[in-house]
Chain A
Amino acid sequence: MLVGTATADDAGVYRVSAELALIQTVDFFTPIVDDPYDFGRIAAANALSDVYAMGGLPKTAMNIVAYPYDTLGPEPLTAILAGGAAKLHEAGVVLLGGHSIEDDELKYGLSVTGYVHPGRIAANQGLQPGDGLVLTKPIGTGVINTAIKANLASAQTIVTVTESMATLNKLAAGIMANSTVSACTDITGFGLLGHLAEMLCGTGTSVTIQAGEVPLLPEAYTFASMGFVPVGAHNNRNFRENMVQFLPGFDPVMRDLLFDPQTSGGLLIGCPANECRRLVERLRDEGVSAATIIGYVNTQQDGTITVVEK
């Protein structure tokens, strides 16, 4: 076993031979958008992301379905599975099968298996002082999904957030594989700072996050400033607050966004400073347009995250 449960990594990694390691992961959840096809796409992008975040290539997948046949009928399920299949096709992944059960509450996700060279694993720990931190997708999906429930989000924002969540981390991972990378994770339920805390936990490494550089989804700030913040953001903050230092007077709205739970978020990549700007340029050139340097590893060595405004 190369990566297991001890480090809160995105997926497990098992060495098969000197040249080959197996990556396994599973992820499923309840619907976060109304359209069943979009939900399928997002759930698949989210499940595949764990393999990309380990620096691997996903190869095979199995569907996991919990479904209320009696109340919904077969059509939505067909659309969900078609959405998932479209993303698997885009990722070059073969669907081998799956398992479904009757349930009052709809849930969909996948178990994904991939490969990685044992020497090319991008584990979530390994950040070095002097590294820059690159984020590949904007944040704010939790806040916007809350605003969608309140009928506040514009049609344009709904489209933007749906496409962001359905975007595979494949392109970003491919570019990362050809760069020098010290650590990587994907940003999901624990929010940007929660997953960053996992990268630091137990290592003594310390980072500075420049809040003004963090890319936000459209309207995310507006909705957060109106109080449409999911309880998960608060739980994430309570859990990791002891590791995070906000400068006095820091904007509480931005603070909540930095802990906002993300669905199918981007990759957070640590990379030596001299390579960092080139990595961002390559990501942007190839279409990962949100890619931004959002902070750096400092030399405090006390395992803390310092959040500054810019």
Chain B
Amino acid sequence: MRKMMKTIDARGLACPAPVLLVKEAVDVGQATEMTVLVDNEPARENVARFLGSRSYKVTVDTDGSTFTLTASGTGAGEVAQPVQPAAEANDATHQKIVVLVATDRIGNGDDELGQKLMVSYIKTLKEMGPDLWQLIFLNGGVRLSLRSSPVLSELQAYERDGIIVLACGTCLEHFGLTRDKAVGETTNMLDIVTACQLADKVVSLG
């Protein structure tokens, strides 16, 4: 197949004009290589996003005032399926669960067993899926948020997934552990009360 080159000068245009011009070019021709000139940041971002959504590979150069976007691909109109955010995708079934953890071990009987159970519980919480909203540590539970926590990497992964991990500031201070916290944000009682009130379900341990 012959290479089709196309240059679009969209300098001096504000959004959405540049992206509309580029869409028109992609829709009519089978351009495999395309150069788009824009002179503002929103246009750069939107044009790059559009070309990306049509499966073009995009590189960007700038001389300070003009951005040059170079795109290559089939331009066959293969629209990549965008990821749907939670609000659009599973509105109906989605609920908000707050888990309050006020101890670093589960139950009475044997402390060593209790600690193992807690590690297992925190690891297994991911089975709640998108319903798990906030994980709040109080009293002895704040030990699970420290550098030495046996579930540190799990909690960090939860945080990366957008789950809110909170540790009670008064509790950390009481134990002199404020500096040792390695995951989560510090919180206070009013924020905890508010979260529990807005939640669909609160699970309390210890």
State the CA gap A310–B84 with chains docked (Å): 14
Determine if A277 and B198 form an interchain contact, defined as CB atoms under 8 angstroms apart.
yes
Structural contact, A214 and B87, CB atoms closer than 8 A: yes
Number of interface residues of B (CB under 8 A): 39
Closest A-chain residue to B54, C-beta based? A226
Q: Is A293 an interface residue (CB 8 A)?
A: yes
Q: Secondary structure at chain B's binding surface: helix, strand, loop or mixed?
A: helix
Question: Is A299 close to B, CB under 8 A?
Answer: yes
Q: How far is the CB of A307 from chain B (nearest CB, A)?
A: 11
- Is A227 a contact partner of B50 (Cβ separation < 8 A)? yes
Contact A130 B190 (CB under 8 A): yes
B29, CB-defined interface residue at 8 Å: no
Task: Contact check, A231 vs B198: say whether CB atoms are below 8 A apart.
Answer: no
- Which residues from chain A contact B191 at a C-beta distance below 8 Å? 298-299
- In B22-57, the 8 Å CB interface with A consists of 23, 41-42, 45-50, 53
Question: What A residues does B198 contact at CB under 8 A?
Answer: 132, 273, 276-277, 293, 296
Interface centre among A233, A249, A310 (most CB of B within 10 A): A310
Are A299 and B88 in touch, CB under 8 angstroms? no
| Structural contact, A213 and B42, CB atoms closer than 8 A | no
Inter-subunit contact A149/B16 (CB<8 Å): yes
Docked complex: A214-253 residues within 8 A CB-CB of B: 214-216, 218, 221-222, 225-231, 233-234, 247, 249, 251-253
Whether B153 is near chain A, meaning CB under 8 Å from some CB there, is: no
In contact, A230 and B16 (Cβ under 8 angstroms): yes
A17 within 8 A of B: no
Among B20, B195, B198, chain A packs the most CB atoms within 10 A around the CB of B198
Known contacts A212-B85, A231-B42; A299 and B188 CB within 8 A of each other = yes
Whole-angstrom CA separation of A215 from B194 in the bound complex: 21
Cross-chain pairs A/B with CB under 8 angstroms, 9 sampled: A212-B85, A214-B87, A225-B82, A227-B50, A228-B16, A228-B50, A251-B85, A299-B190, A308-B162
